[in-house]
Amino acid sequence: MKTVLKIILVIFISISLFSCNKYEEEELKAIQDISNNYLDKNDLQKMLNPPNFSDEIEIEKPDINKLNLKVYISDELRPIMQIKEDNEWMFKNNNMSKKDSVAYFNLVNSEKFKSLEYRTFDKKKIKFIKPYHYFDYSKQKLKDGENYNYLSFSRFCFDEDYNFGVTVIDYHVSSNGYSFMGYNMSLFIKKIDGKWKIIAPK
């Protein structure tokens, strides 16, 4: 009888560890995909396609092959429920389709959302898509006029099938010792063709 109980306990522990590892692996993948998706949409595309306020002045677009853009990413993932308690306004996004809105609010009101605790991750595993690369401001110096992108996330809350997720992003553009642009917001994400993409805000 004791042997059977030991076997059951071992199986239970193994399943729990596998489930935990799978969740953290998916979280790491989401951090990488959403970092690249967000930077491309909110930084690179604006740089490559600047608004033209005059037909008489032609704006010179940068050569993407010559760009060398720096990113610092925090290795801390904050409890998303704690952020929600202090910032309810972040989670009142209704600019979605009915189907996406239902999936979003199911996640935000789930037990998983409430139970996700603080953790850290190995940020060296995050691969940025060119022209971005990791920049460690504690060890590297910026040249005059240079800046870097700063990214930080909360925990990612996924549904059981890993089709949808919610996180909070904190984004800043910084230079030596100060930030001159930044904001934070909740992101509703969806896995499309094997990669996590931002669905809202658009």
What does the pLDDT read at residue 16? 42
Beta strands 164-175 and 148-154, pairing class: antiparallel
Interval 161-202: pLDDT, tens: 999 999 999 999 987 766 777 889 999 999 999 999 999 987
**pTM score, two decimals?**
0.84
DSSP 58: P
Q: Which whole number is the average pLDDT over 145-151?
A: 89
Within the chain, strands assigned E span 69-78, 119-120, 132-134, 148-154, 157-158, 164-175, 178-192, 195-200
d(CA 156, CA 154): 6
Question: DSSP 3-state assignment of 54?
Answer: coil
